[in-house]
Amino acid sequence: MGKTKTQFVGGEPTDKNKLKKKEKPAKVHLAGQKGGERVKIIEAPDLPKAEPHSAESIARGERKARVRGKKYLEAKAKVDRNRLYPTKEAINLVKETSISSFDATVELHLLIKKEGATFTLTLPHSTGKAKKVEVANDETIKKLEKGKIDFDVLLATPEMMPKLVAHARLLGPRGLMPNPKNGTLIKTAKDAEKFNSAKMVLKTEKGAPVIHTVVGKVSMKELELAENVEAVLEAVNKKQIVKAYLTSTMGPSVKLAIS
């Protein structure tokens, strides 16, 4: 009597002694099967199916919840999420809940009523970060051709502007394209000495009425931070602001009362 091979196929388990002729399964060809060998049919176990993502969850862009550390959770517990804090109180809370080991940056995030807006202002106090100012020249053009930007402010004379126009797509979204409104278009290279680096340009994000900016460091005095915050709010126009948040690097955000 020939040998018996076992083959897994879908379907219900079948007893060969109880099979009727019309119930016999279709023949299955096995590679390497020798003459006289028979195929015994048994039930294949059902494999677990992966749970598909729903169209709704994909549309919402849902992700796994971010796991926060103990220090952050303790700091967050000090902030009332449903309360709008006056500026000075918000600054003190941001200082208190800063959990970084370094001198953290204090950030101001705004949601305004319209997108595509640009604002120019000068902060009354330094944000603690020295800005690198560069006067456009042929070396600047070579860097831009490689997509390299290693400056915070770009100044240019009228003679250099035609060369910079070719790189408007690189400079424009970053607010680095020289123009008369923010004082970055100068008559001569010597005028760069008169440029005030404290002047800044705020722009909403592309496709969203949101503004992110830095107003100082946690180590700064409360009054200095408050005056910087107020300068930004006034430049944007408080009536145009829907929501405002203050936060430090790695710290929880604090809702700001706009008055």
Measured distance CA(96)–CA(106) in Å, rounded: 12
CATH, domain range 79-128+200-259 = 3.30.190.20
- Structure-token match 């700001």, residue found: 256
Q: Are 226 and 233 in contact (CB under 8 A)?
A: no
Enter the pTM of the model. 0.59
One pLDDT digit (tens) per residue for the chain, 259 residues: 555 555 545 555 545 454 444 455 555 555 555 555 555 554 545 544 445 544 454 445 555 566 778 888 888 888 989 999 999 999 999 999 998 889 999 999 999 999 888 888 888 988 877 778 899 999 999 999 999 999 888 999 999 999 999 999 999 888 788 888 778 889 988 888 887 777 788 889 888 999 999 999 999 999 999 999 999 999 999 999 999 999 998 889 999 998 7
CA distances from 98 to 36, 102, 118, 184 (A): 80, 10, 30, 35
Give the residue range(s) of CATH 3.30.190.20 domains in the chain.
Answer: 79-128+200-259
Measured distance CA(211)–CA(24) in Å, rounded: 72
- What is the per-residue pLDDT for 137? 92
DSSP 193-246: GG--TTEEEEEPPTTS-EEEEEEEETTS-HHHHHHHHHHHHHHH-GGGEEEEEE
Give the residue range(s) of CATH 3.40.50.790 domains in the chain.
Answer: 132-196
- What is the per-residue pLDDT for 172? 85
CA distances from 6 to 9, 19, 24, 44 (A): 10, 17, 16, 11
Domain 132-196 is found in CATH 3.40.50.790: yes
- What is the per-residue pLDDT for 24? 53
- Structure-token match 């408050």, residue found: 226
- What is the per-residue pLDDT for 3? 53
Q: Is 256 helix (H, G, I), strand (E, B) or coil?
A: strand
